[in-house]
Structure formats: structure tokens, C-alpha cells
Structure 1
Amino acid sequence: MFARRIVVVGTGYVGLTTGACLASLGHRVVCSDVDAAKVARLARGEVGIFEPGLGELVGEGIAAGRLEFVLGSADAVADAEVVFLCVPTPMGSGGGADLAAVESVVAEVAEVLPTGCVLVCKSTVPVGTSARVAELVGRPDVAVVSNPEFLREGSAVHDFLNPDRIVVGSASQDAAERVAALYARLGAPTVLTDAPSAEMVKYAANCFLATKLSYVNAVAELCERLGANISDVTEGMGYDRRIGQSFLQPGPGWGGSCLPKDTAALLQVAQSVGFDFELLGATIDSNTRQREQMVAKVADACGVGVAGSLDGVRLGLLGLTFKAGTDDLRDSPALAVAELLAARGAELVACDPGLRGDEAPLRGVVSLVDDPYEAAKGSAGLVVLTEWQQFRALDWPRVAGLLAGPVVVDTRNHLDPDVLRRAGISWRGVGRLPVG
């Protein structure tokens, strides 16, 4: 494999992982950003992203001379063979992706890209964006390629280096093959296609996963009403190779930085071409309802009824991030449930191993403590909202002695109900009958 001169524009979650991993594959990588303080920290090997293995990979790349960080993009791309766009594409008005950052970078680098350079859209962008970028660049000597990322927070380095597939799309076969060759050492199945299809793959995959999660949450509610056990049901489903084991865990709803914005974006794109994507709309609506169902479950466990007031009721929350192993609160279903509980009047004290306590979304909603026992102390009940492994190892008899109301609402089915029962605590899960 030939080592390439690569520039990665943007050092966020996707950009930094992409740059560090490509450097680990032997390429020479320059990562650029507009935040001078962030660039300085990264140049010292200081990674502020909560992602296992990423800090070590950045340090190794810097030490080997294959990874560096610079301010601004125009000078960085001067001798690049491949330029990756890894800038944010947040949800904009109407649910569509906001491409302002992508267009800004393209305008900055279009005239200074070397002849023969390949410009790669790594950010999640709507179908047709690569064609739009090619128009903005306006140079036939620069090819534009779509190469969507499939990284999960908490396992991004592993996902990059052990991919299920590599998807590359472009009108230029040569450019697509050059980008695919960057990953040759990984030995992953590679899909070479046109740019619109590559862009669609990312949205189609994420929206399918969201639909699968909404479906299993609906089945879990049906299990509760019929006296079935969702854990046994999903185990039986998961052995069917057509379905698989993944994304069959019920919970408080799906969230994070990808699924909410990608479902909204695809729905908006469908509407723009006159297609009524009813299934996707129902998936989104079901997810909103799931969060409300969790609040009703908590209210019922506290003895005020599913629609009762929680005014003045102290509740301890275990977890607020959208999933364990991250510090990400973006579209967190855990935080959404907390906000709904607060709106009902509950007084919330939370513990989350991934949070510092100064995060803006928490203000006015919840008080954060470092100790889960402090969250339990004097609470009418505990609510498990994020599946941190630390919570399984708590001293539950001690927790029982601290709680004012010995009940745990486990929205992730994360804890062992029998352990809690032996400690004198009632367990309420999702899609399963109460225990204790």
C-alpha cells in the first residue's frame, strides 16, 4: 500500500478518529480546525473526546511524525492528495441537514486544491451533496467522492479499524478506487458505487436501525400488557439470522448525535421529492412516545399514577448520557426523560460517570453528584437511564437503606432483578413483569 498525503478538515468526533486511524495505517495526515486553542491542545496530544483508544492513537501518530494539527484549511491542502471533509452537519430548519460548514470549507479550499486531488465527503450529508460540492469546486481536475462513516461513539477506533464495510461513491472510478485503497490494509468488503447511492447508504442504514429500535420498544410494551418477557422474546428473535442480535434492546428511546438527525433529514428529503415516508414518520413518533412512557412508568412506581403529579418528589437518576462509554448528551433519551420528569415537578439528583457537572444542558433540570449513593439518598426511587456497568456493581442493600422509597425503575433492563429483590428493592423494567 502506498502512503498518501491526507488532510482531514475538522477535528470533531469523526474527523479526529479518521485522522488518527489513517495515520495508524501509515498515511501522512494533517488535521485542520478553526479553533486555535483546540489545535494547540491536540498538537500536544491532549484529546478532549471521551473515546477509548483515541488518545493513545493520537499520541502514537504525533510521535511517529505521521500526524499533525494545524489552524485553517487553505494552507494545509496545498500538497494534499486526498482531503476529507469531516465538519458538522447538524439538523437545520425543517429537519434537513445544515450544510453551512461544508459549503464554507469548500469555498475556502476550492482554488488551492492541487490538480488531481480527491475531495472526500466524510460527514453525513443528504443525497446530492457530492454533486453540489463538485459544482462549488468547479474544477474538472478535482474529483469529489462520498465515503460515509459508520462509527459508533464509545467504539469509534475499533469500528474504523475493523469495519463491516467500506462504501465509496463517485462519478470518477479512478477517484473512488484511490479512496478505497486508503483502507486496503483493513481487508473489509468494499462497495464502489455512485455518489448518490453512497450517500443514501448512510441514511438508509441509520434509519433502519432506528426503526428496529422503535419496533422492539413497541413489542416490549405489548409484552408488559400480555405478561410476556421481552428479554426472552428478543433472544428468540435474535437467533434468526435474518434479524440478528443487535439493536434489540428496549430502552427509553433512541438518541445520540446520529439517529435523530439522520431520521429527520431523510424524512425531509423524502418530503422534498413528494414521497410520504409514513414508516419513518411513525418510527420518529414512536420514539417520542417511548420517552413519555418511561415518565409514566416512573410516576406509577412512585405511587402517584401514570398521569399524576411528581411535584416535590425527589428522584435519583443513574445515567444521563445517550449511552454508556460516552460523555455525549446530544439528543440523549436519558436527558429527555429527565426533562419530562422535571416538567412534572420532580426534584432530580443524578450520577453519570461520563459527566463533569458543568454541562449546559443539565442546568435547571438536574443536580449532578459524583456518588450514586448520594443520588439514592432520600429519593422516592431510582431511575436507571444509561447502562453504565458501574451501576450493576452497586451495594444494593446499602442503596435500599438510603432510599426513601425502595423502588428502581430500570429503563434499560440493565440490573439483575433478583439482586435487587434480595436487597429489599422492587424492580420495574421494560417489557417485563415487576419483581419484588
Structure 2
Amino acid sequence: MTPVTPRVFVSHLSGVPVFDPNGDQVGRVRDLVAMLRVGGRPPRLLGMVVEVVSRRRIFLPMTRVTGVESGQVITTGVVNMRRFEQRPTERLVLGEFLDRRVRLVETDEEVTILDVAIQQLPARRDWEIDKYFVRKGRGGALRRKGETLTVEWSAVKGFSLEEHGQGAESLVATFERLRPADVANALHHLSPKRRAEVAAALDDDRLADVLEELPEDDQIEIIGKLQEERAADVLEAMDPDDAADLLSELPEEDKERLLTLMRPGDAADVRRLMSYEERTAGGLMTTEPVILRPDATVADALARVRRSDLSPALAAQVYVCRSPDETPTGKYLGTVHFQRLLRDPPFTLVSSLLDSDLVPLPPDTPLSVVTSYLAAYNLVSVPVVDESGSLLGVVTVDDVLDHLLPDDWRETDFHGQEGVLRGR
């Protein structure tokens, strides 16, 4: 009897680690590559797109895959570290198949593909697309409530033409466990059409986090394809410094139109940041550090830095200022570091713990001086004040790195090439 090989649904492979025969992790699965075939044969699975430690995406042929089980992929042989480039005859299974609308051969009824099953051929290393998990109905309530069923690959038709207005809910679901930087990397490698569809399916906060991690060209492309009201909402959800950087790249009329649609308070923060030179403390700073009044306690401070939406750099220290406690604040009094907060009783006033030796910087401080300041004092952020001593914002080390690295650093490897180059 011919042994039955297990069936694997591709949504379960997204982000799964890939290991070499020695047990060392090579990277993580980001997509699968298939080729449609003629003559009534099922689509053949050519390989996997694997993201290695340097964020480079490489091609792993299925002939090198020895196991797909228990939440991991095992490979054998030498891995080709050359960057993956999609060929015209190839299709990305997660990026292009999921959410695609096709028709059942028997009834001509329209269905939406929610998942794809693959299976290894017996006694061979070849893999084929085996089945589709689909939902009946087209969009809206029907799409959410329609009957779901698993059908053979041959039971559907409609893969030969490019689909316009393809949904993205199932693909977005595969991104749920990824960090914003990883989602951004996935979006960057999709076609412009698919990138716009996925961006439209993300909620405002998630899209804002992802936009902050994308290259400038992708940011401009995506924000330009959103409806203006939604684009303004996404800009409000972004960190003010990142929103200012993005808006500064848009034509003047588009920039003003979006600023007008934003909430006045958010727009004011962004306008203030855009008034400073880019490579200065004012142009680098964020206007949303953790600010406390002098009568706040250690317990108050710890509650504020515990917020999950704070970056580690912003949560590392709090800034004590007189009222008002939103930038630009009242007089800046000093900084309390997170480690100091952990050493004192909860009822202690933060005003008694100030590090007043940390001299704030004026907004026109050049980038080179800001960098030296952070390095000299081993800091992850530094306060920026105006002539009256009011806190305007803080410059964090991640924003400094963004401006020290090459403009295209998000699109290039930050580690050297690894492994031996071999043909696909």
C-alpha cells in the first residue's frame, strides 16, 4: 500500500522556524512559491521564501526540505544565500492565493480562498498543492457567514487572470504574530497592488506601526493610496516624529490637506517638528515622552512606563516638569531613570530622585553632537528644551540610528552574505 503523506495548510507555516541538519536555525518561513501547470496537473510547490537573520529573503527549494512537522521545517544540504527574486511564472502562495476569489468548477459559484493545503508526493521530495479551504459568497456579510468547505485543487477555476480588488483578511491573519518590522518586510516584497490591499485591511494602529518600519518610497506609495480621511487617522496613530518625516516627503498641497484633516493637537505636534531642520535635535525628537509633575510618586511613574505601547527607549526614563505636562511643558526640572524607580519605595516623590546633572539640549543641536552626547553618557534618550527651559521632546537612540544608517538600510542586508552561493 502506498503510504499517505501528511497534508499541511500553508497558513500554519507562516513564521515557522527553519533548521539545518545540525539543529541550527537558518531563518523563518515567510511565503511559499508555486507554479501553475497545464494539462490538468495540480500546481507544483517549488520552494519556500525564507527570511534569514539579516532580513534577506532567500529561496529554499522543496527538494531540500526533509521535514515539515511540529511547527518547524528541516532542511538538508547547503543553503543558497542569494536574494530571492520572483520569476514571471511563479506565484506566492500566501501573498497571492489567500483571499483570492475563484469559482467552483461544478456550480460556477464564487468562493474565496482562506487557506491552501500542500502534500508531498509519495516516495519523492516533490510537493504539490492538494486542496483549497474556501468560503462561499462574495464579500461583506456573506463572506463572513458563508459556508466553508475544503475542495480539491481541480474543483476551482480562475487562477489565470490577475484579480482586481482582492481581499486581504486571510493574509493579514498570518501576520498577527509578527513584529511590525517583520510585517513591513513582508509588505515590501509584495507587488504594489497586493501591498495596497493588505494595507487597506490592517487597522489604523497596526498600519501606523508598520509604516514606521517601511522604506520611504513604500510609505509614500501606501499613504497615497489610502482615502484622505483614513490617511489622516493613520498619521495621527504614528509617532509624531515619524509622521512629520513622512509628511515632509509629500507635495505641499497634499501635506497641508492631510494636516487639516488631522486632530488639531496632533497636527500641531507634527507642524512643530517639521519646523526644525531634519538633522538636529528638534528634527529628531519625539514629542511624547513620559512626563510627570513634581508631586507624582514612584508608583505613578512605574504605572506610566509599564504601558505596552511605549518603546524601550521611551520607557527607560521619565521627565519631571512643572505644569502643563504636555510638550511644550512648563519648566523642565530633571530626569528619573527607570533603575532608580526600582530602588525606591512606591510612595517616594519623583521630585526627590531627579538626575539634574543630565543637561538638556537645545533643539538646534546638530546630529553629530546628539550622537556624541548619547554615547558619552551611555544614554538611550536625551531631553530637548527651548530657551525658556520648557521640555519640547526627547531624542531616542533608535531615531539617531535611523539617521546615521544609509537611507536604504531597510532594504539592504545589515549582515554580510553568509553561506555558499548555489543555483536554484
Please, what TM-score do these two structures have when normalized by structure 1? 0.29
Normalised to the residue count of structure 2, the TM-score between the two structures is: 0.30
**Structure with more strand by fraction:** 2
Greater per-residue helix proportion? 1
